[in-house]
Amino acid sequence: MSDSYQEAARIIRSARRCVAFTGAGISVESGIPPFRGEKGLWNQYDPETFDIRYFHSHTKASWEVIREIFYDLFGKVVPNPAHYALAELEAKGRLGSVITQNVDNLHYDAGSRTVHEFHGSLKKLVCLGCRAKYMISEIDLTRLPPECEACGKVLKPDVIFSGKPFPSLPGQIPLMKLKMPTASS
């Protein structure tokens, strides 16, 4: 075992309370490309698609790309050993929660129970009219854009789009970033 793994194990063992902070890196092994970088989604798609102003002005075109990337591509992915390792640490009482900027639901799929998805989740849609929320499994994406059953307004993935400020965190708790060793290191 490398020194960095032993050091990580020592810190986790001696900590009173651990929280994992995860980002795109943990899902790359599951086949989800990161947004930035050489093989990133932004080299294949225009980031403007995820600007909230573009979504409002070109709803159908924006939804077509969203469906292709997030529901056709992301819909097939499964958790990898890193997601399962965090779920196991939580089950053993070693990990309090996972805080993630990922919207792919893979921490829940792996069995983690306390997950704070601060960019939202692709599993949920929100109505832009009455704010009703729907599970993606309830919605037919063959006709775009999907509409609210209650008020007929457009539904949007319940995730943070660019061009929109983040909601503030309760108490503005500073987040410590825990770097996970990669499989190859």
Which residues are part of the catalytic machinery?
Answer: 119
* Candidate list 91, 150, 169, 183; residue touching Zn ion; CB under 5 A: 150
CB nearer to Zn ion: pick between 73 and 128: 128
Residue corresponding to tokens 């194990």 = 9
CB nearer to Zn ion: pick between 10 and 133: 133
Q: Are 25 and 182 in contact (CB under 8 A)?
A: yes
Total residues in contact with Zn ion, by rule CB under 5 A: 8
Examine residue 127 and tell whether it contacts Zn ion (CB under 5 A).
yes
Examine residue 147 and tell whether it contacts Zn ion (CB under 5 A).
no
Stretch that binds Zn ion, among 12-20, 38-46, 73-81, 124-132 (CB under 5 A): 124-132
String of contacts with Zn ion for each residue 95-114, x by CB under 5 A: --------------------
The secondary structure of the chain, three-state, reads: CCHHHHHHHHHHHHCCCCEEEECCHHHHCCCCCCCCCCCCHHHCCCHHHHEHHHHHHCHHHHHHHHHHHHHHHHHHCCCCHHHHHHHHHHHCCCCCEEEECCCCCHHHHHCCCCEEECCEEEEEEEECCCCCEEEHHHCCCCCCCCECCCCCCEEEEEECCECCCCCCCHHHCCCCCCCCCCCCC
Q: Are 95 and 178 in contact (CB under 8 A)?
A: no
Rounded to a whole number of angstroms, the minimum distance from the CB of residue 52 to Zn ion is: 18
Rounded to a whole number of angstroms, the minimum distance from the CB of residue 148 to Zn ion is: 3
Examine residue 148 and tell whether it contacts Zn ion (CB under 5 A).
yes
Rounded to a whole number of angstroms, the minimum distance from the CB of residue 56 to Zn ion is: 16
Rounded to a whole number of angstroms, the minimum distance from the CB of residue 144 to Zn ion is: 17
Examine residue 139 and tell whether it contacts Zn ion (CB under 5 A).
no
Residues that bind Zn ion (CB under 5 A): 127, 129-130, 132, 148, 150-151, 153
